[in-house]
Amino acid sequence: MELDAVSNTYARWAPVYDATFGRITQAGRRAAVRYINTRSGNVLEVGVGTGLSLEAYDRALRVTGMDYSEDMLRKARARVAKQGLSHVAGLRQMDARDLDFPDDSFDTVAAMHVVSVVPEPERVMSEIARVLRPGGQVVITNHFKHERGVWAGLARAAAPLENLLGWHSDFEMARVLQDPRLQIAVRRDLPPMGMMTFLVLEKRVN
């Protein structure tokens, strides 16, 4: 999916995102933030969107959010201001393929329902690994391709509409597992009916 297509799609969805995709992805966001809240330090949320998860982070964490869509970020900034979320260190517009942060900047990176949306997800994962400190973790929730069952059929039917929907319905998990610096620490299915996957990758120390 091209970056312009992503930007245009989310410009259209921004006004209604919370009530539509926001509800569909709620279980994944809750699982990710609950896990991250057991950790400490600096957190980067890649694809922060309208900021639906920001209120739920533990106030002891220092959270930075980034997104390519200014329409989404505008809603996220309004949310932070309205709710007085002082643990949010900043919300920045940038391309996830070229993160404007130094190496080893974050203890945890969250990527919730974003890896199947961005162009060049392998490059995005490489950038995530770069800004993650050794021993740090990437917490991913996402829909990945199912080989069998009802989700497999629905994904095949939705694949031609990916630019309209704003996500790759037949996205392969292998595409986020290619960086040798990252290894699987946790993997489990999420509701409803295993549609989504909860995945934690840890950056090797050596």
Q: What is the pLDDT of residue 191?
A: 76
- Residue-wise pLDDT tens digits, 171-195: 899 999 999 999 999 999 987 655 7
Q: Where are the alpha helices (H) located in 51-190, listed in sequence order?
A: 70-83, 121-131, 150-158, 162-165
Section 27-37 average pLDDT? 93
Sorting pLDDT into bands at 50, 70 and 90, what band is 148?
low
DSSP assignment, residue 6? H
Q: Calculate the average pLDDT of the chain.
A: 84
* Strand, coil or helix: 158: helix
DSSP assignment, residue 73? H
Peptide bond into 192 cis (omega under 30): yes
Peptide bond into 191 cis (omega under 30): no
Per-domain boundaries in the chain: 3-203
- Given a cut of 60, whether residue 135 has pLDDT beyond it is yes
- Give domain 3-203's CATH number out of 3.40.50.150, 2.60.40.420, 3.20.20.80, 3.40.50.300: 3.40.50.150
* Strand, coil or helix: 117: coil
Q: What is the pLDDT of residue 52?
A: 92
Q: What is the pLDDT of residue 154?
A: 47
Describe the crossing of helices 70-83 and 3-13 by its angle, rounded to 10 degrees: 50
* Strand, coil or helix: 198: strand
Distance CA 140, CA 24 (A): 16
